[in-house]
Amino acid sequence: MSDSALPVRTSGTSQATPRPARSKWLALVIIALAQLTVVLDGTIVNVALPDAQAALGMSDSDRSWVVTLYALAFGSLLLLGGRIADYWGRKRSFIVGMAGFALASGIGGLATTGGMLLAARGAQGVFAALLAPAALAMLNVTFPKGPDRAKAFAVYGTIAGGGAAIGLVLGGVLTEYFSWHWCLLVNVPIAIVAIAMAIPILTESKADGDTRYDVPGALLVTLGLGSIVYGFSRASLGWDRLDTIGFLALGVALLVVFVLVEGRVSNPLLPLRVVANRVRGGAYITSLLVGAALLGGLLYLTLYFQIVLKFTPLHSGLSSLPMTASIIAGATIVSRILPKVGPRILMTIGPVFAAGGLFWLSHLTVENEYFVQILPGQILLGLGLAMVFVPMQNVALSGIEARDSGVGSAAVTATQQIGGSIGTAVFTAIYSSAVAAYVIANPSQNPLPSLVSGYSSVFMAASITVLCAAPIAFILVNVKRRAFAGSQR
């Protein structure tokens, strides 16, 4: 049996004493609340963006950076955040990360300039990079094996997949009845509740042994990922630009050096054993591709609702509700059949469903035919995401040593966030090119058809992106059904 099919190993870590069943499930509530907060903020501002852009006098480029900057800071610092959680303590990192996230959210909610909002979004990403891996690592050590582990990861996976869609609905409600500011301010009371529950309920755990930080590795991976995402963001101005090519090449070079360094240092930021495992590697690549399609694609669906169809923020958020419902319903079914069929089949079929939903959305028109043009695509996309996210979180941490729980958790979250950053940047470039091409070919005073052409191109690109995850999951996530089920007992 490969290590990918084994429960979490407990060597080399300072573990909390076994917790009562009630305390364990209360811990899951706290962890789920933190995960929901982090995922929500990837999309909750999407609905508020048109209002925020007008109020703060932001350009279209700045508007996209409100989304990209959060995901960039979040994704590029996650590995470091995961190691801090392992070494400093996961409960301590959780509380500090949640408090800092709330503070940054408060600043963003009170922003009076575009620069202030962008700075707050970057700070949110920094503290989310500490909070998210600490939360997932605590889940990993709280539910090391047994049927409860499958249930806990099903809850977590549902939030990971559905939280983005819930963010669109909540953002619509807050923007419609309060203001766009509350899309950020809402995190403050949620954080207060989570911290108040975490202090008495969560127990501390951290890695023993060598806890020196890999500073060169942290600098290389942060600069490398940041350079790649920034390079893609410049592609909206042209793929042949010197800065586009230069930053992309620099990012790749820095990441190559990072891998070489990690193979040589005694206490690496990202032990290569974490990602070299075939099954976990497949989960990470799948997470990267699905994250790109999900976070990048949902932004343009929101813009289509508000700019083309003239939906109010609330109407726009409610129009995204069927996808949320299909994710939740799909996750309920998937969590029940997962031990019987194993993750491989689900993680192969899921991207096909999601790609079908995005392909359906690529046929949008200026006319509002929601039940024909949009609803079927949302349902297919939601079901596909449920089939991917529920098993993916579990598979990505299967067989990992408890000492590496924080960095392993960070790796799977980082792939999704970096995928979202790259996806948003690349899709922005595709959108701009498609709009420009349509205007040249079809001169008209009505800008809406050109915008729809751009949105359709984005959904088509997102469909192809997520479809690539299907063969990767089929080939790499080769966990036998019996082996996976055995790890759940």
Share of the chain above pLDDT 70, in %: 90
Any alpha helices (H) in 364-486, and if so which ranges? Answer: 375-397, 405-441, 448-467, 469-476, 481-486
Q: How confident is the model at residue 6 (pLDDT cuts 50, 70, 90)?
A: very low
Residue 49 is predicted with a pLDDT of 82
Residue 482 is predicted with a pLDDT of 59
pLDDT at 427 over 80: yes
d(CA 430, CA 454): 7
Once rounded to an integer, what is the mean pLDDT over residues 136-152? 77
d(CA 331, CA 391): 10
d(CA 400, CA 331): 24
Whether 45 and 52 have beta carbons less than 8 Å apart is answered as yes
Domain ranges of the chain: 20-203+269-486, 214-268
Q: What is the CATH number of domain 20-203+269-486?
A: 1.20.1250.20
Residue 9 is predicted with a pLDDT of 45
Cα angle 157, 418, 287; round to 5: 35
Q: Which amino acid is at 72?
A: L
Once rounded to an integer, what is the mean pLDDT over residues 468-479? 90
Work out the mean pLDDT of the chain and round it to a whole number: 83
Q: How confident is the model at residue 361 (pLDDT cuts 50, 70, 90)?
A: very high
Q: How confident is the model at residue 488 (pLDDT cuts 50, 70, 90)?
A: very low
d(CA 5, CA 342): 11
The full DSSP string for 176-228 is HHT-TTHHHHTHHHHHHHHHHHHHHH----EE-S-----HHHHHHHHHHHHHH
pLDDT tens string 102-131: 999 999 999 999 999 999 999 998 999 899
Q: How confident is the model at residue 4 (pLDDT cuts 50, 70, 90)?
A: very low
Once rounded to an integer, what is the mean pLDDT over residues 364-387? 90
Once rounded to an integer, what is the mean pLDDT over residues 413-430? 81
Q: Which amino acid is at 75?
A: G
Residue 11 is predicted with a pLDDT of 43
Q: How confident is the model at residue 266 (pLDDT cuts 50, 70, 90)?
A: confident
pLDDT tens string 84-93: 888 888 899 9
Residue 188 is predicted with a pLDDT of 93
Residue 279 is predicted with a pLDDT of 86
